[in-house]
Structure 1
Amino acid sequence: MEFIATRKETQILNPAKDLALRSIPSEIRVDPLTGRTARICHFMKLQWQKPDFDQLVAGTEKTCPFCPDKVLKITPLFPREILPEGRLIDEDRILFPNIAPYDTLGAVATMGDRHYIPMTEISVERIVRSFNLAFDFFRRVEAVDHPEAVYHLINWNYMPPAGSSLIHPHLQVFSTASAPNLMRQELDAAKGYLEANQSNYWEDLVAHEKADRERYLGAIGRTHWMSAYAPMGVAGDVLAVVSGARSTLELTDQDLRDLADGLTRLMAGYDRMGIYSFNMNFFTGAKDDAAARFHLLFSPRTFFNQALGATDVGALRNLFNETICMAFPEEIKTMLEPDFDLL
């Protein structure tokens, strides 16, 4: 396992300092598994100004399809052969078909009837119960032996900077036989690593990061949390690897609680930086895939220019799929450490 980085330097004559020579560093990192590259550059203090949330949220509940006065009236139902009751309901959490599905089996799961929940008020219990609702769906599609019941995925787009078109907290839930691009690349590379090294990449990664400590945050149960070496997001990513679990449905109730615990810690840490939005994705192997380990990726989202609403995904990321992070992951790990200090 290699952690490759190419260090570069740009030199400019700075007009603000009488044309004094200024050197600006950057770094290109290579993901140890896939070979994907990420650029560490555009360095700045990781501190943003939060918006006026009252103004941002005001009036959005009037047309929100997930609020309790509308959700059972306007959301669709699954066909009886997939889900006889049409929707899954757990008190104020409701799972129903995604009207704009990503795949054959696409669902949305609301995280309760509260329309807006600040990031730091999303509790472990709320996440656990929302995950459990999604897992009920996954088990249902497995029980009917649906051909798409191979990879069971949860995506979470929290707030508009992360691509959420609705304020109301909800999860994207889907089962698919078609692994998404990065997940497929990881699965293929992990199989190659297993064949070449006779060991599991993810277990080796955890062992390395735990021993090295540069990016390792700690363990909650059998879930290991670390700042990603080659991050996708401009403010870094955090990777959580569940040791011993190959696929989503191998996660235990305690694993789900441990994952939820870690997620709330990350939300608290990034909230201090002024970041109020994030993406979270499940990455999973198929059943009995010895090379795979279940992991999730938490990626905070913000703006390059908050006043203009300039997205943090520009041409480099969108067309080259080359990511930019504005701080070293090792520094981001240090910023998040206070939230993992008991581990």
Structure 2
Amino acid sequence: MIAAIPGVVDVSQSAEEAQPLLDFVIRRDLAADFGIPPAAVGTALRALIDGEEVSSVRRADGGSDPVVLRLPETLRSDPAMLGALPVAQAGGLAVSLDQVTRREGTLGPAVIEREARERVITITAGLDGRVLGDALADIDRGLAVLDLPAGITTAMGGDAEELGDTVASMAMALGMAVICIYLVLASQFASFLQPLAIMAALPLALIGVGPALLLSGSTMNIYSMIGLVMLMGLVVKNSILLVDNANQHRRAGLPLAEALIRAGSTRFRPIIMTTLAMIFGMLPLALAIHPGSAQSASMAQAVIGGLISSTVLTLVVVPVVLTWLDALGTWVVRHLTAAAPPHGAGTSP
């Protein structure tokens, strides 16, 4: 299934071809009749086939070599001879292997791999002209329709596992960045509502990231994710300039609507200048004009796309959101004041 996915190459698995095996299955009822524990049969057979270290020989140079006792090759490879060998004693008589076991010819793995005490088979593959995330999505869809036997599970490792960990870490970093931005803005503006209007520019930045990466032929990777985290701090700069200037006009006695209009005309040039300075500063990296910079070019491309969309939309969206939040705050204060009892009011006993 994996080999049939476009862009996936060099598919291989760790399990080699099955090897013929000869199993001696213990007949527990007969072993119990003889009074022979099954473990004793296994221990004797292991010593006969695999060998057992019984002594050591000291060399002239002071070292030592182990002395291993086991059956000769001719006996180890002859099932009939193995079956006739004594493996235990019962009532003073030797009990042969065939008397307490039965022989079964089977197939088994040449090498047994284990991970977390479970048998595993590792399937590895490479990519050729395909993005890792897209290939993983195809593999997941293929695994979903496979009718796997009971007890068999699948799990991703390697680059796929690292990609999942990276996305989770970057999502946590993005969330922490948003929380820290709100806390700083709330303390600086002495308001819980105005930071929400300023942070309305954050989703506006995401609007331009996708088209920028698409036009440049880049993907959402670790570098473009770093660019997203950078955007969280860059795009609120325009909103801060706009809202701070509007607050200055409001303190001078202007209504909110007129204060926002004046702030937009006053701060339009600084907003455009600072945004263009950041965009042109990112252009060399985004164009990958230097050797070795192509890998991290997606970071600059994401930043440029986010700056363009946020700058254009901030001048429209942030004043609207600020107006709504101001009306909401006024409504809440009015209703709380109306619900509160007059100062000093009460009933006499």
Normalising by structure 2, report the TM-score: 0.23
Write 1 or 2 for the structure with the bigger share of helix.
2
Write 1 or 2 for the structure with the bigger share of strand.
1
The structure whose Rg is larger is 2
Normalising by structure 1, report the TM-score: 0.23
